[in-house]
């Protein structure tokens, strides 16, 4: 009986097991019928990414034939990477319809191989492996060749005119009204016995506009020291505070009045844009400066500062290289240094020949720009209006030369 | 040496940044990255320099009982309260949380005190635009008259009212088309000229600094 019962138990368990297997195979069959099979991507090509520091490769492929913009079966592509002939690991994935990927963060001394798979909701079709490749390092970015040529030409012109000026040749520089007014503005503050307020914008020392403002400050501070006028300079960046203090201190020492210098002439307010504006507006309203310099990088605060300065009756000299802020300064200030005039200011105020020479070099760049614009306008007009191929070629040559693909 | 060392650093850094733009190769790229890190480190320390200066100037005003000492008191209190709350939120939340997280007291300060104050300052711009426009558009001379006419058409083209007024006569939106023309051609031409000048100015200015001709920013005469 015992054996019979064991036999029945075994029989029952085997039948249950068989049923379960049957169920599994059914489920497999069902899954297999629901599988969204897709074709893999083809022609997977890997090549060196040009003009980098040997840390990138460019991968591109022909998308799977099941990758359609509408009702396509491919949901994404997966990118597998093998380093130094090791096993393939998933490194990235991109959406369907994408057919290229920049592979970043690679090392120059390793070899790489790639594989791309198309993925549907429940299926993955892998491509063939690419060739084995190493990253390469190029010395010169030839995409920037035209820019390099222009930079070289203008740099050479600047250096040439600096040398010409050094040899003693007189250079003509046109009068800049805003800079001619600096003396008058400082004199006015001296006569009225009221302070001068110098605002160097809200950017740090890594902005060339702030540097330009600090260089102008050097010239202004020298005159301030000579006239014994009071200067106040609230700043929005700590490094600007340090640089400005050093500049004013040197100006006072050069003027022979080091004792009149005080660190509190320059003080830090806050990095926050409108917090700084509130503080500077407060200073303007309370201290009523006779002269205000607004030189440097300005944004939305430009008009708030300039209008408050205007309301207290100060003579205002502004300058920025932010084209969007220039109309505000022109509307609210007495003199405005427009763009390049801000950068020319220190050379103009110093009157040193080698500084003025750099301005003449800049003019060469302007002459080139003007020449190219005139040729471009004529060639595009004649090319479009009369269909003359020669002029169309000139237009396209100019466009391709001045288009930079970094 | 006090002037020479900063000048040498400026020249080297300037050249490295300029060269690495055209030559993406060792050692320029690495040097550029190192200089970038140095800038970040110096700026981080400089924040304390600024904060300490602010405290010093404010305390001096309070000590000397100057006219605006009251405001200096508010600055000190606000600075210490914000710092205290920031540190408290930063340390009390554990390693996974930050004082900037939504729901912290610091976040409350930011959203309900700092942001409204900033918005208030920014809102003042609306009134200043009106007063500045009034002055700029007064037809005192030829340029101002030209500005007034251009401004009239651009503003007129930006609102539907002007085109609507022409509706009984024509379906062509002359105002918006003329405004678009002003923005697309005379304005773009003028802006491009200014941008070219700015680019050349930056280049010339940078060269003066890199070559050591311009020294005012490091306290040179």
pLDDT tens, N- to C-terminus, chain A (406 residues): 454 455 444 444 444 444 434 333 333 334 555 788 899 999 999 999 988 878 899 999 999 999 988 878 899 999 999 999 999 999 999 999 999 999 999 998 899 999 999 999 889 999 999 999 999 888 888 888 899 999 999 999 999 998 898 888 888 888 899 999 999 999 999 999 999 999 999 999 989 999 999 999 999 999 999 999 999 999 999 999 999 999 999 999 999 999 999 999 999 999 999 999 999 999 999 999 999 999 999 999 999 999 999 999 999 999 999 999 999 999 999 999 998 999 999 888 888 888 888 888 889 999 999 999 999 999 999 999 999 999 999 999 999 998 887 6
Q: Three-class SS string for B5-73?
A: HHHHHHHHHHHHHHHHHHCCCCCHHHHHHHHHHHHHHHHHHHHHHHHHHHHHHHHHHHHCCCCCHHHHH
Domain A171-351, architecture per CATH:
3-Layer(aba) Sandwich (3.40)
Measure the CA dihedral B132/B138/B143/B145, to 10°. Answer: 130
- Mutate which of B201, B207, B211 to disrupt the A interface (most A C-beta within 10 Å)? B201
Domain span(s) for CATH 2.60.40.10 in chain A: 42-126
Q: Which residues contact A204 (CB under 8 A, 6 or more apart)?
A: A210, A237, A239, A240, B43
List C-alpha distances in Å: A283 to A197, A198, A286: 9, 11, 5
Q: Given an 8 Å threshold on Cβ–Cβ distance, is B132 in contact with A332?
A: yes
List C-alpha distances in Å: A397 to A28, A379, A387: 63, 11, 16
Q: Which residues contact A359 (CB under 8 A, 6 or more apart)?
A: A161, A171, A173, A344, A347, A348, B204
The candidate with the shortest Cα–Cα distance to A114, out of A134, A141, A137, is A134
Query: Hey, what CATH topology would domain A42-126 get?
Result: Immunoglobulin-like (2.60.40)
Domain span(s) for CATH 3.40.50 in chain A: 171-351
The shortest CB-CB distance from A238 to any of B50, B71, B129 is to B50
Distance, in angstroms, between A199 CA and closest chain B CA? 15
Count of C-beta atoms within a 10 Å radius of residue B215: 20
Q: Which residues of A touch B218 (CB under 8 A)?
A: 243, 246
DSSP three-state, residue B165: helix
Q: What is the pLDDT of residue B220?
A: 65
Q: Which residues contact B34 (CB under 8 A, 6 or more apart)?
A: none
Q: Which residues of B touch A242 (CB under 8 A)?
A: 46, 49
Q: Which residues of A touch B135 (CB under 8 A)?
A: 331-332
Q: Which residues of B touch A277 (CB under 8 A)?
A: 121
pLDDT at B92 over 90: no
List C-alpha distances in Å: A400 to A139, A147, A285, A394, B199: 23, 11, 53, 10, 20
Q: What is the DSSP string of A171-187?
A: ------HHHHHHHHHHH
Q: What is the pLDDT of residue B142?
A: 87
Peptide bond into A138 cis (omega under 30): no
């Amino acid at each position: 009986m015992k054996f019979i019962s064991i036999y029945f138990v075994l029989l029952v368990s085997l039948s249950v097991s068989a049923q379960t297997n049957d169920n599994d195979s059914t489920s497999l069959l069902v899954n297999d019928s629901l599988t969204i099979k897709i074709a893999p991507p083809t022609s997977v090509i890997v090549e060196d990414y040009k003009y980098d520091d040997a840390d990138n490769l460019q991968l591109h492929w022909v998308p799977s034939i099941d990758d359609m913009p509408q009702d396509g079966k491919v949901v994404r592509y997966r990118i597998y990477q093998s380093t130094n002939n090791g096993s393939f690991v998933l490194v990235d994935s991109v959406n369907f319809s994408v057919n290229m990927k920049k592979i970043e963060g690679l090392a120059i001394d390793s070899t790489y191989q790639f594989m791309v798979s198309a993925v549907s909701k429940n299926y993955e079709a892998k491509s063939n492996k690419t060739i084995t490749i190493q990253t390469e390092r190029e010395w010169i970015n030839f995409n920037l060749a035209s820019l390099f040529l222009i930079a070289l030409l203008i740099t050479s012109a600047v250096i040439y005119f600096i040398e010409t000026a050094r040899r003693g040749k007189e250079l003509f520089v046109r009068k800049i009204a805003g800079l001619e007014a600096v003396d008058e503005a400082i004199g006015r503050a001296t006569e009225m016995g009221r302070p001068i307020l110098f605002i160097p914008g809200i950017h740090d020392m890594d902005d060339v506009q702030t540097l330009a403002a600090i260089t102008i400050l050097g010239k202004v501070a020298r005159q301030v020291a000579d006239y014994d006028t009071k200067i106040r300079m609230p700043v929005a960046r700590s490094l600007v505070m340090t640089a400005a203090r050093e500049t004013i201190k040197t100006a006072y020492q050069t003027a022979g009045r080091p004792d009149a210098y005080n660190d509190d002439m320059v003080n830090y307010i806050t990095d926050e844009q409108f917090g700084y504006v509130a503080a500077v507006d407060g200073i303007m309203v309370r201290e009523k400066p006779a002269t205000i310099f607004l030189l440097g990088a300005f944004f939305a605060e430009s008009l708030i500062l300039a209008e408050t300065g205007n309301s207290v009756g100060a003579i205002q000299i502004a300058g920025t290289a932010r084209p969007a802020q220039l109309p505000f300064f022109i509307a609210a200030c007495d003199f405005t240094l427009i763009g390049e005039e801000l950068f020319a200011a220190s050379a103009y105020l110093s009157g040193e020949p080698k500084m003025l020479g750099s301005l003449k070099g800049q003019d060469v760049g302007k002459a080139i720009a003007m020449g190219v614009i005139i040729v471009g306008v004529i060639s595009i007009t004649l090319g479009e209006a009369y269909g003359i191929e020669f002029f169309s070629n000139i237009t396209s040559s100019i466009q391709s030369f001045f288009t930079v693909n970094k | 040496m006090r002037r020479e060392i900063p000048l040498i650093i400026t020249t080297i850094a300037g050249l490295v940044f300029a060269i690495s733009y055209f030559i993406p190769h060792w050692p320029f790229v690495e040097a550029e990255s190192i200089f970038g890190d140095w800038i970040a480190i110096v700026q981080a320390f400089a924040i304390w320099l600024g904060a300490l200066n602010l405290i010093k100037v404010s305390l001096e005003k309070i000590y000397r009982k100057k006219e605006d000492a009251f405001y200096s008191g508010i600055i000190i209190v606000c600075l210490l309260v914000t710092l205290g709350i920031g540190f408290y939120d930063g340390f009390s939340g554990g390693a996974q949380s930050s004082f900037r997280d939504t729901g912290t007291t610091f976040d409350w300060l930011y959203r309900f005190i700092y942001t409204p104050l900033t918005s208030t300052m920014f809102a003042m711009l609306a009134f200043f635009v009106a007063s500045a426009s009034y002055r700029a558009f007064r037809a005192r001379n030829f340029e101002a008259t030209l500005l007034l006419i251009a401004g009239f058409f651009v503003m007129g083209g930006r609102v539907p009212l002007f085109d609507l007024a022409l509706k009984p006569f024509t379906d062509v939106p002359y105002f918006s088309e003329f405004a678009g023309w002003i923005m697309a051609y005379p304005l773009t031409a003028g802006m491009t000229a200014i941008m070219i000048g700015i680019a050349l100015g930056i280049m010339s200015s940078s060269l003066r600094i890199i070559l050591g001709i311009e020294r005012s920013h490091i306290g040179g005469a």
